[in-house]
Structure 1
Amino acid sequence: MPGGRPRSFDADTALDRALEVFWRHGYEGASLADLTAAMGINKPSLYAAFGNKEELFGKVLARYLDGPGGYAAAALDAPTGREVVERLIRGAVDLTAGEHTPHGCLCVNSVHACGPDARTVRQDAIAVRKAGEAALRRRLEQATDLPSRYEPATLAALVHTISDGIAVQAAAGRSRDELRQIGEAALRALWD
């Protein structure tokens, strides 16, 4: 039995375009019309290739974590706890206030801007955030240079709170230079 028509679009390019729409508008703010227009496909093609909107978002979220948000996993490889935290905070500024990306964070926006009908999407974004914080906690447990006033779990939660705040401020229009200054002040407050 023949398998149907071959795709007339590049799935990776379509996912990148969907990522930008979700990142810019949030899950609920991204309409199917916005998504299909950006992706250059029609609704039946979207459903056939990516599933429904929720399934598409799951694929986009994974792409975000492996792509633009990948700085967070890479930061965990830094040799010291301070360098890990520096890379995370500076990476948050670069990602959320970048010149060529939507401002804010896909995960943060999805956690805060989803209503009851998007509960699964919200839970997925929360799970991603919790997993990132847990990975940071485990990495900080190995560090020998933490300030004595912080337990690894507390410091991990604090760094995630700072990063989330940076994302919210970026989405609200604060400039990249202002956010860099804020990030540097946060680093001094954590380690000095």
Structure 2
Amino acid sequence: MPGGRPRAFDPGVALDRALELFWRQGYEGTSLSDLTAVMGINKPSLYAVFGNKEQLFAKALDRYVTGPGAFAGDALEATTVREVIERLIHGAVELTAGAHTPQGCLSVSTVHACGPDAASVRELALACRMAGEAALRRRFEQAPDLPAGHDPATLARLVHTITDGIAVQAAAGRPHEELREIADLALRTLLPD
């Protein structure tokens, strides 16, 4: 005997819609009503499939890292340190100021814009960011071509500072072309030929 009615929505599509809404409006700026409207589901379905708002955000953040933000993990596979850094910095411009994405970075904005009531969500986004920085540090530690005088941990923090700055500028409305120029200047300054 079949159990219950089949779902009338695609959870993957609904999660993508929630991700975009969180990305555009932030965690605290997004209500459950906003989420159910954009996801095309009711609150009981949201709770049944995704859990509460915080759990849904955690799933959306995972989707962000493995979807639009996957360039960061892929960049670590580049052959040289220069290529890793170039891919990260240029990728940050495309992710945060691209024509087909919301402006800014989901994890950066969450870390900076969550108040005390959303401290656990802020910590989740911060842990995600720190994991990315740690992976970059490990990649630099293993690099035979690390430029002389560069400490792997400090260089990883610097690259993350640059990409975070790009995200903040994108969220403030800085155009893609200007961010690309800034990225190119940062690369020339950081890694002169």
What is the TM-score of this pair, normalised by structure 2? Answer: 0.97
Partner of residue 103, structure 1: 103
Partner of residue 172, structure 1: 172
- State the distance in 2 between where 1:181 and 1:46 align: 42
Deviations 1:60-90 (A, max 9, x none): 0110010000000000000001100000000
- State the distance in 2 between where 1:149 and 1:189 align: 15
Deviations 1:20-59 (A, max 9, x none): 0000001001111111111011111111110100000000
Partner of residue 136, structure 2: 136
Partner of residue 61, structure 1: 61
- State the distance in 2 between where 1:189 and 1:148 align: 15
Partner of residue 77, structure 1: 77
How far apart are 1:146 and its partner, in Å?
A: 2.3
Q: Secondary structure at the match of 1:108?
A: helix
The alignment covers a number of residue pairs equal to 192
- State the distance in 2 between where 1:3 and 1:140 align: 52
Q: Secondary structure at the match of 2:123?
A: helix
Q: Give the partner amino acid of 1:24.
A: R
- State the distance in 2 between where 1:32 and 1:172 align: 26
Partner of residue 114, structure 2: 114
1:18-33 to 2 correspondences below 5 Å: 18-33=18-33
Q: Secondary structure at the match of 1:101?
A: coil
Q: Where do 5+ consecutive residues of structure 2 fail to align? A: none
Deviations 1:139-181 (A, max 9, x none): 0112222222310100000000000000000000000000000
- State the distance in 2 between where 1:13 and 1:162 align: 32
Partner of residue 7, structure 1: 7
For the aligned residues, what is the CA RMSD? 1.1
Q: Give the partner amino acid of 2:161.
A: T
Q: Where do 5+ consecutive residues of structure 1 fail to align? A: none
How far apart are 1:2 and its partner, in Å?
A: 6.5
Q: Give the partner amino acid of 2:118.
A: A
Q: Secondary structure at the match of 1:29?
A: coil
Q: Secondary structure at the match of 1:143?
A: coil
- State the distance in 1 between where 2:168 and 2:149 align: 27
Q: Give the partner amino acid of 1:101.
A: T
Q: Secondary structure at the match of 1:9?
A: coil
- State the distance in 1 between where 2:175 and 2:147 align: 30
- State the distance in 2 between where 1:28 and 1:132 align: 24
- State the distance in 2 between where 1:48 and 1:187 align: 47
- State the distance in 1 between where 2:107 and 2:183 align: 19
Partner of residue 152, structure 2: 152
How far apart are 1:117 and its partner, in Å?
A: 1.1
- State the distance in 2 between where 1:77 and 1:60 align: 24
- State the distance in 2 between where 1:100 and 1:191 align: 30
How far apart are 1:5 and its partner, in Å?
A: 2.4
